[in-house]
Chain A
Amino acid sequence: MNTPSSASAASLPPLVVSDRLAKKALRHFKERFIEMLLFGAASVSVLTTVGIIWVLVSESYHFFETVPLWSFLTDTMWTPLFADPHYGILPLLAGTLTTSLVALIVAIPLGTTIAIYLSEFARPAVREIVKPFLELLGGIPTIVYGYFALTVVIPMLQLLIPGLSGFNMLGAGIVMGIAIIPYVSSLAEDAMRAVPMNMREGSYAMGGTKLQTALRVVMPAALSGILSAYILGISRAVGETMIVAVAAGMQPNFTLNPLESAQTISAYIVQVALGDLPHGSIGYQSIFAAGLSLMLMTLSLNLVGHVLRRRYREAY
């Protein structure tokens, strides 16, 4: 046997780094250069965020020089462009929350049901056909949904609820909910399908039915994925613009009643953008203040999503 040991090391030739093994400077340089390029590309996304925050904050800063933050947060009227301006974000916030809530009441149960159905009940053939169909539904431009809400859904609702106004948060919210079903169902289904089969087999082997397996085993196992699907749905609803702009009424009403018309934060921004406000006017700044509020809302949603994902990380 010829085991080299530290004792015999002295008799071996001295330690060398062969020429072949020396780092080749050129190759090393090229690799570093490419890495820098790729890193540059990756930083663009950070620059985008910086850009968004910078634009929103700097314009809002001027806004808050004129408007005290306190009245922005507590005033119940939002009329920044009128002779007697009020700058209370509450009406827009109420509109945003109400439409989002209606949308979620539609999208979360339906989206979850569809996800469970596709992932646990439907035959693979059905799933292969239906899933792309749902994805198509998610690809329809929201402006199209907006007119669908205005010309089809709201008139139908008016037949059911006499006296319902022609623009209302209910109709806009319902259609928005339908529009975000695909996001919720598709992501939730992905999460459930990622649950390994052996988990399901465990339940089936105990004599569980499909529904029991889905509700008691698959859903808990996929919890973090399902929660992020919901969070994505919520942030879509909060930021959705064209449906509410077209169908919810563009009226900054401080109300949580979905039968009324109202304006959301995003709808206010397009409304103003439809006109033209000069750089520097309080009106121009007001859309950035509104945008900042919107951004903060979605940002905190994302944060919640992040925490939830961490907390309920799948441990299959």
Chain B
Amino acid sequence: ASVVKVDGSSTVFPVTEAVAEDFQKSMKGAVQVTVGISGTGGGFKKFCRGEIDVADASRPILKKEMEACAQAGIKYVELPVAFDALTVVINPKNAFIKQLTVEQLKKMWEPDAQGKITSWKQVDASFPDAPLKLFGAGSDSGTFDYFTEAVVGKAKSSRGDYTASEDDNVLVQGVSRDVNAIGYFGYAYYAENQGKLKAVSIVNKQGTAVQPAPAAVLDGSYNPLSRPIFIYVSEKSLEKQEVRDFVTYYMKNASKLATEVKYVPLPAKAYETALEHVSKKKLGTVFGGEAEIGVTIESLLAREAKL
């Protein structure tokens, strides 16, 4: 049987997994799809080594990764899949937090905080003097890259003394059991565990505190923590029928399946454009290797159209 190999982001995994499952069924087992979870960074590393056909990514490809791919002669098509609201969560019993500003988040998470900021009181004088328990994504994940970029201002720039896991469910468990905990991960994990967690409203650029929710993503008010998620397909792999089939199937069903796994789908137009890029072999990224914060659906569509 022919094989399609996908690896990468744990955030994108639920969508890709759903697609892979349905796709294999529709092909009656003629094509085998493997979906690994190595985190966005891990996925790109394999992708640029030519080990996989498709990379799941919860952020656009970065300069360094572009260079690695270029060096190995790997060209790719970038396909946005959906939008995610990166969610900051606390324990439901936590009574003192109603909302947080990006400033406050930065105080908790920046590298300088390591070993120093250990009490909530240090984050904000109005908070009680309770131990600060941090849970976050592992350093190989796109979520980590995006969060540090959005909050600290520099990708991968974070303190190291927190419970870091590529496995978001471990984070769910950790936060749900500790009154003084705070953590962050993709919206889907929050949506599935609303009973055990409380989402924190984030004060946006406009100065209003907004709860993460599909609507807030759509209207762009949940910023800066809304982000697009992607798949990257290698040009060489696109020569294979089964990969083309898989990507086509992905784009045709992304809207439905993304909703099913609690992400915010893109407008239908976006998927059509993406398919067009595939068939016309429009290679490269529209982000220029920069980690961008606060990309809205509209601006994404505009960029895609320009490619």
Contact = CB atoms under 8 A, between A and B. Distances in A.
Nearest to A281: B45
A278 B114 CA distance: 27
A79 interface: yes
A183 interface: no
Contacts of B157: 82-84
B123 to A, nearest CB: 18
A271 B159 contact: no
B173 A166 contact: yes
Contact of A83 (B45, B111, B161): B111
B174 A167 contact: yes
Q: Which of B45, B133, B160 has the most chain A CB atoms closer than 10 A to its own CB?
A: B160
B161 A277 contact: no
B156 interface: yes
A144 B177 CA distance: 20
Interface in A138-170: 150, 154-155, 158, 165-167
Contacts of B41: 275
B173 A275 contact: no
A277 B164 contact: no
A81 B139 contact: yes
A251 B161 contact: yes
A78 B160 CA distance: 7
B154 interface: yes
Contact of B42 (A154, A253, A277): A277
Contacts of B166: 271, 274-275
A225 interface: no
B38 A261 contact: no
Given A79-B114, A275-B140, A276-B45, A150 B173 contact: yes
Nearest to B112: A84
Contact of B139 (A82, A165, A250): A82
Contact of A84 (B114, B162, B164): B114
Contacts of B175: 166
Interface in B153-189: 154, 156-167, 170, 173-178, 181
B207 interface: no
Contacts of B167: 274
Given A166-B173, A250-B170, A276-B45, A82 B158 contact: yes
A81 B138 CA distance: 9
A257 B268 CA distance: 54
A251 B160 CA distance: 8
B174 A166 contact: yes
Given A165-B133, A166-B176, A83 B138 contact: no
A83 B174 contact: no
A71 to B, nearest CB: 15
Contacts of A249: 163, 174
Nearest to A249: B163
B25 interface: no
Nearest to B134: A251
B214 interface: no
A77 interface: yes
A210 interface: no
A86 B170 contact: no
B141 interface: yes
A233 interface: no
A166 B133 CA distance: 10
B159 A82 contact: yes
Contact of B178 (A79, A82, A166): A166
B7 interface: yes
Given A82-B139, A165-B181, A166-B176, 16 more contacts: A81-B160, A82-B159, A82-B160, A84-B111, A84-B160, A154-B177, A166-B175, A166-B178, A167-B170, A167-B177, A251-B163, A271-B164, A274-B38, A275-B42, A276-B7, A276-B38
Nearest 6 pairs between A and B by C-beta?
A: A79-B160, A166-B177, A276-B42, A275-B140, A276-B38, A81-B139
Interface of B: 7, 36-39, 41-43, 45-46, 49, 111, 114-115, 133, 138-141, 148, 154, 156-167, 170, 173-178, 181
11 contacts: A79-B159, A83-B156, A85-B160, A167-B170, A167-B177, A261-B163, A271-B164, A275-B38, A276-B42, A278-B49, A283-B139
